[in-house]
Amino acid sequence: MNALTGSAALRRAAPPALRGQIRQLATFGAIGVASTLAYVVLYSALRSVAIPTVANAVALLVTAVGNTAANRRLTFEVRGRANIVRDHAAGLVALGRTSASLAALDVLAPHRGRIAELAVLVAANAAATLVRFVLLRLALEKSPRGRARGFVLAVPVATRCVG
């Protein structure tokens, strides 16, 4: 049995709630990979004309807006503008983490190269991804009574993509 067939079999055998979580994680991961690639390209282009904190902020803000919009629509199937500011605020979790990471890098390795900067920034984004997924899921997945539903992550963190 190949990995694709095994994955499809797991989804079919899983309870509906778990299948929904698997679908959400897969969609969130795919959007995250695309957003991370866009972030790396944009940061690299901006870094040639701006200091790291400015390049990071601009690249992250641009990609976070697209990431959150895509996740609202595709991952969580939210339509319309209700709570859009709240959802975008949840999508900006990475800005604080990446800014703090750059500040730490300035202290620990003031003469680092751009590859080191990118590695630290991508790692900081990856660490913020799980938090962002949980915040968006709690914000966007409401029970009929309006209370946030709890959930259990069904796959190990190591298998999820950067978002």
Summarize pLDDT for 107-158 with one digit per residue, the tens: 999 999 999 999 999 999 888 877 877 877 777 665 444 444 443 333 333 3
> What's the rounded Cα separation, in Å, for the pair 15 and 143?
18
Q: Are 133 and 21 in contact (CB under 8 A)?
A: no
Which residue range(s) make up the domain with 33?
17-159
Instruction: Give domain status of residue 56, yes or no.
Output: yes
pLDDT attached to residue 13? 67
- Percent of the chain at pLDDT > 70 equals 76
Instruction: Give domain status of residue 2, yes or no.
Output: no
The structural domain count of the chain equals 1
Give the least confident one: 30-39, 83-92, 97-106, 114-123: 83-92
pLDDT attached to residue 7? 57
> What's the rounded Cα separation, in Å, for the pair 121 and 133?
18
